[in-house]
């Protein structure tokens, strides 16, 4: 489990750099700031990806025990305890529990 966003971590680095008066006056400081900028960009991409994954819907293929029809279900893995309803006979055939 990642505590806090990656962006937040990079923000702390940036704050640290500022408190050390790293402002790009020298070549080394420019390099340091460029590294932090790059990390910030990467962290943004990673955070977006993590957010996208946690809101992901996935498809379940199953067979209805009631009418025997092959069904595919789009399930959001964030919402647990969602009743699964067969789109053929409209019977509730199960409950999706959170899988994470
Ligand atoms: Zn059915």
Provide mean pLDDT across the span 71-91.
71
> Among residues 93, 50, 59, which one has the least CA distance to residue 77?
59
Q: How many whole angstroms from 59 Cα to the centroid of ligand 1? A: 17
What's the predicted TM-score (pTM) here? 0.50
**Residue 49: its pLDDT value, please?**
77
Q: How many whole angstroms from 82 Cα to the centroid of ligand 1? A: 17
Q: How many whole angstroms from 81 Cα to the centroid of ligand 1? A: 19
Q: How many whole angstroms from 27 Cα to the centroid of ligand 1? A: 69
**Residue 22: its pLDDT value, please?**
92
**Whether the predicted pLDDT of 74 surpasses 80:** no
Q: pLDDT tens digits for 11-24?
A: 999 999 999 999 99
**Are 50 and 39 a contacting pair, CB within 8 Å?**
no
Burial of 13: CB neighbours in 10 Å, binned 0-12, 13-18, 19+ = middle
Q: How many whole angstroms from 6 Cα to the centroid of ligand 1? A: 45
Q: State the greatest distance between any 2 C-alpha atoms of the chain, in Å, as a whole number.
A: 73
Q: How confident is residue 70, by pLDDT bands cut at 50, 70 and 90?
A: confident
d(CA 8, CA 36): 12
């Amino acid at each position: 489990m990642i505590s806090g966003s990656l962006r937040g971590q990079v923000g702390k680095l940036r704050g640290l750099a500022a408190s050390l008066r790293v402002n790009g006056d020298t070549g080394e400081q420019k390099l340091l700031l460029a590294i932090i900028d790059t990390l910030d960009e990467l962290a943004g991409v990673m955070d977006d990806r993590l957010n996208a994954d946690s809101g992901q819907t996935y498809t379940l293929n199953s067979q209805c025990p009631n009418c025997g029809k092959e069904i595919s279900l789009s399930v959001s893995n964030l919402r647990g305890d969602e009743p699964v309803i067969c789109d053929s006979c409209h019977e509730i055939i199960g409950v999706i529990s959170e899988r994470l």
